[in-house]
């Protein structure tokens, strides 16, 4: 079993909004692959929303449409930050290569 600093932050939260973690040594296991796929979808959604925002900011957009965009961008930013945090923690927990060139 992994230690607490080696737990993977998953790209979703529990019903009460608290973070969910995965403890596994199998980075190719079902839950790891599921988390990888959801992260990929979340990052893709963020990219699409950014493109949409760029287009909307270049035109005269109704205030209600801008509010909806801001709401969606906020969710995408939250998801993207969770992905970045999770990946950063996994990078920090990898063994370092002590070889030199």
Structure confidence by residue, pLDDT tens digits, 4-32: 457 899 999 999 999 999 998 888 999 99
CB atoms within 10 A of CB 42: 19
Predicted TM-score (pTM) of the model is 0.78
Helix (H, G, I), strand (E, B) or coil at 1: coil
- Least Cα distance to 21 among 91, 96, 82, 95 occurs for 82
Q: How many Å apart are CA 48 and CA 73, to the nearest integer?
A: 10
């Amino acid at each position: 079993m992994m230690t607490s600093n080696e737990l993977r932050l998953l790209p979703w939260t529990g019903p009460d909004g608290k973070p969910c973690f995965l403890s596994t040594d199998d980075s190719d296991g079902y839950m790891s692959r599921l988390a990888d796929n959801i992260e990929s979808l979340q990052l893709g959604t963020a990219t699409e929303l950014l493109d949409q925002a760029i287009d909307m900011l270049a035109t005269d957009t109704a205030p209600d449409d801008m509010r909806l965009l801001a709401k969606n961008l906020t969710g995408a930013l939250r998801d993207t930050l969770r992905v970045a945090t999770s990946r950063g923690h996994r990078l920090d927990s990898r063994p370092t290569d002590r070889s030199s060139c």
